[in-house]
Structures are given as structure tokens and as C-alpha cells.
Amino acid sequence: PSALVIRGGERVRIPGREVVCGDVLVLEQGDRIAADGRLLSAHDLQADESLLTGESLAVGKAVRADAPATAHRPGGEDQPYV
């Protein structure tokens, strides 16, 4: 799968395996998420994390300014991580 990232101020579509730390992923409805990430902004975002967590339904995601960039638990409702 490919990923839409912002690099050098421009949107660029790249192979998912080329996503690196520091890339900003731009997600749209139906996209597969190419890498773990922390939300910078979102509007009514839900993610299917069933492969990671076993949850049968998509979970809502929420942006949180106080969210640490490291040491977070994977998955879950109202988490700022995808």
C-alpha cells in the first residue's frame, strides 16, 4: 500500500515501506495506515484496529495536545494514536 505524506511542505504519495519517522501522514476515508502515528488533527476519525487489538468494531480517535510522542499503549477508544 502507498501513503500520502507531507515532505518539504508538499504532499507526496510514496510506498508505505518508505514512511520514516517525522513524516506527516495525510489520511482519508478508507486509507490503510502505513505506520504508527500520533494525531495532529482529525475530524470524527474512527479506525479499525481489529488486527492489533481484536476489537470487532472501529474505535473513535481523538486529538490530545498532552499526548506523549512515545511510551503509549496500542489501540483503544479516544486515544490520539493510530
Asked if 46 and 17 sit in the same domain, the reply is no
Asked if 17 and 57 sit in the same domain, the reply is no
Kindly report the number of other CB atoms within 10 A of residue 7's CB atom. Answer: 12
Find all residues with CB under 8 Å of 11, minimum gap 6, and list them: 4, 5, 26
pTM of the model: 0.79
Least confident of 5-9, 18-22, 35-39, 42-46: 35-39
Q: What is the mean pLDDT of residues 17-29?
A: 93
Asked if 2 and 13 sit in the same domain, the reply is yes
Asked if 75 and 64 sit in the same domain, the reply is yes
Q: Structural domain of residue 24, as residue ranges?
A: 1-35
Asked if 12 and 49 sit in the same domain, the reply is no
pLDDT in tens, 24-81: 999 999 999 998 888 999 999 999 998 888 888 999 999 988 877 766 666 788 888 8
What pLDDT is recorded for position 14? 96
HSE, CB side, 13 Å, CA atoms: give it for residue 48.
6
